[in-house]
Amino acid sequence: MVKTNGKSRVDPEQLDLEHELPPADEQTGETPATPTEVGLSAEPSELQKLRAERDALLDRLARLQAEFENARKRAAREQQEFKDFATADVIKALLPVVDSFERALRSPSDQGGEFRSGVELIHKQLQDALAKLGVQAVPALGKQFDPRLHEAIEMVDSSDVPDQQVIDELQRGYRLKDRLLRPAMVKVARNPGHGEA
């Protein structure tokens, strides 16, 4: 025992826990059984139970972390898709302007050529702005007709080019990254004799 301020205090190092009697149960007056009375078999099963509970909690924690990571990735993907769709609406609104520029560029040039050079400059600026947003023109002229990328407006009989080849582009098609904004409107060659031996 250690004395402090006139009061006795038990030094924890001097305790003999193995021989000390546990306090009696207040309701029954009986003292609970000690681990040696119960036997050592209770401790391993309790330890196994605790280990199993710990493993179950670790497994649950790992699953929750995986679910959280999946939810975070899904939210980021949905946010990017929303951004792409919002950008697509803006680009769709700009495409008629691009069409007007292209029609103006196909018209006969004026005497001094100043109008045409100004329109060409504006057209290039607009094309550069669209390219920075990820917009690309769909290749059409001279390509094999692809219904996923082209919209056939007319079939033209021709023996000069292979069957199903695009021979004229009436309106350019555009895509945003991997998403088709609008197909190219084209004229397609019909040459059933081409390819026969």
pLDDT in tens, 115-141: 777 788 888 888 888 888 888 999 999
Q: 48 and 129 in one domain?
A: yes
- The answer to whether residue 101 scores a pLDDT higher than 90 is no
pTM of the model: 0.49
Position with higher pLDDT, 148 vs 100: 148
- For residue 116, the model assigns a pLDDT of 76
Q: What is the per-residue pLDDT for 64?
A: 94
The one-letter amino acid code at 108 reads P
Backbone CA torsion sign across 136, 140, 144, 148: positive
CATH number, residue 153:
2.30.22.10
One domain for residues 68 and 152: no
SS3 track for the chain = CEEECCEEECCHHHCCCCCCCCCCCCCCCCCCCCHHHHCCCHHHHHHHHHHHHHHHHHHHHHHHHHHHHHHHHHHHHHHHHHHHHHHHHHHHHHHHHHHHHHHHHHCCCCCCCHHHHHHHHHHHHHHHHHHHCCEEEECCCCCECCCCCEEEEEEEECCCCCCCEEEEEEECEEEECCEEEECEEEEEEECCCCCCC
Asked whether 130 and 98 are in contact (CB, 8 A), the reply is yes
181 in any annotated domain:
yes
Among candidate residues 103, 133, 163, the one where a domain is terminated = 133
Do 104 and 154 have their domain in common?
A: no
Considering the chain, what is the average pLDDT of its residues?
A: 79
Identity of the amino acid at 150: H
User: Looking at beta carbons, which pairs linking 66-73 to residues 24 or more positions away fall under 8 Å?
Assistant: none
Residue 109 is predicted with a pLDDT of 65
* Average pLDDT of span 71-84: 91
pLDDT at 15: 52
Domains identified in the chain, total number = 2
The residue among 133, 158, 174 that closes a domain is 133
Please check the confidence at residue 182 and state whether its pLDDT lies above 60: yes
Residue 196: inside a domain: yes
Domain check: are 183 and 102 in the same one?
no
Q: Is residue 10 part of a domain?
A: no
Give the residue with greater pLDDT, 63 vs 192.
Answer: 63
Q: What was the pLDDT predicted at 197?
A: 38
- Whether residue 71 lies inside any domain: the answer is yes
Q: What is the CATH number of the domain that holds 117?
A: 3.90.20.20
Residue 72 within a domain = yes
Q: CA nearest 136: which of 177, 83, 184?
A: 177
Q: Looking at the structure, tell me whether residues 49 and 118 fall in a common domain.
A: yes
Region 178-195 average pLDDT: 86
Beta pairing class for 179-182 and 150-157:
unpaired
Same domain? For 115 and 155 the reply is no
The domain in which residue 158 lies consists of 135-197
Least confident of 65-79, 90-104, 123-137, 143-157: 90-104
Specify whether 86 is located in the same domain as 111: yes
Task: State yes or no: pLDDT of 187 exceeds 60.
Answer: yes
Strongest mean pLDDT among 12-21, 101-110, 147-156: 147-156
Q: Are residues 85 and 104 in the same domain?
A: yes
Whether 27 is covered by a domain: the verdict is: no
